[in-house]
Homo-oligomer: A and B are copies of this chain.
Amino acid sequence: MTNRTRSQPPAPHGPDLRDPSPDPAELYRRFLADLFGVMAYGELSAFERMSSDARFSPTLHDRTVLGRLAVREYGHFERVTGHLRSLGLDPETAMRPFQPSVDAFHDRTRPADWFESLMKFYVTDGISDDFYQAVASRLDPETAELVLGLQEDEPTGAVLEARLQQALADDPRLSSRLALWGRRLVGEALTQAQRVVLERAVLGGLLPDTEQGVYEDEVKTLFASLTRNHSRRMSRLGLTA
């Protein structure tokens, strides 16, 4: 262990750009542990939140639909943890470093009702999908296939979008509240994501021979595109982002 000052976050198994690793293969493996660790914990949390919020759905039909989406999240969680195991990595060890930020995101964004809860899944699902797509383009083909293979025939985002559009048509007064809520959500999500990416240098393993400055530029570009896509989704709901 290197000595760390208080202001530096611990990084039990993440790549550390300050300690250049001599072995690119090991660096890539650590990066995969982080990538699948954060994916797995995000999916497990989404599953739990989605299925608990399902209970407050306005109709039995909504309960079953939301339940099915939650179960899908658990399915993704199982595939991702299965992949970690196949790499010889322990899923719980890989998830643990991301628990505080994911939990903090959920604690700071407690939906006031079912519609806010729906909006929250829609926003976070969209951002994560975009994030994984961006990352996939830089992965080895087999890993990329796994990450992209998590997209379903009828994506979760499309189901949620249709339901939100219906809710907004039924009650147009929802729109100003949901627009405000969408802004809070994207702010919190990107703040937490950026913290994770910078602290753990999640993307560092993809850029082993670059300098810190290049890495930070990459991260900025990525987050700008995540914000842009979020705004597009809000427009499709008729909301200003």
Interface residues of A (CB under 8 A from B): 44-45, 47-49, 51-52, 54-55, 60-61, 63-64, 67-68, 70-71, 74-75, 77-78, 81, 91-92, 95-96, 99
Contact = CB atoms under 8 A, between A and B. Distances in A.
Contact of A68 (B45, B74, B91): B74
A70 to B, nearest CB: 7
Contact of A92 (B61, B67, B75): B61
Copies of this chain present in the complex amount to 2
A109 B48 CA distance: 20
24 contacts: A44-B63, A44-B64, A47-B67, A48-B51, A48-B52, A48-B54, A48-B55, A48-B63, A48-B67, A49-B55, A51-B52, A52-B52, A52-B55, A60-B92, A60-B95, A60-B96, A60-B99, A61-B92, A64-B77, A64-B81, A64-B91, A67-B77, A71-B74, A71-B75
Given A48-B54, A51-B52, 9 more contacts: A48-B55, A48-B63, A51-B70, A52-B55, A60-B92, A60-B95, A60-B99, A61-B92, A70-B74
Nearest to A78: B68
Choose among A45, A47, A51, A77 the residue with the greatest number of B CB atoms under 10 Å from its CB: A51
Contact of A44 (B45, B47, B67): B67
A51 B78 CA distance: 15
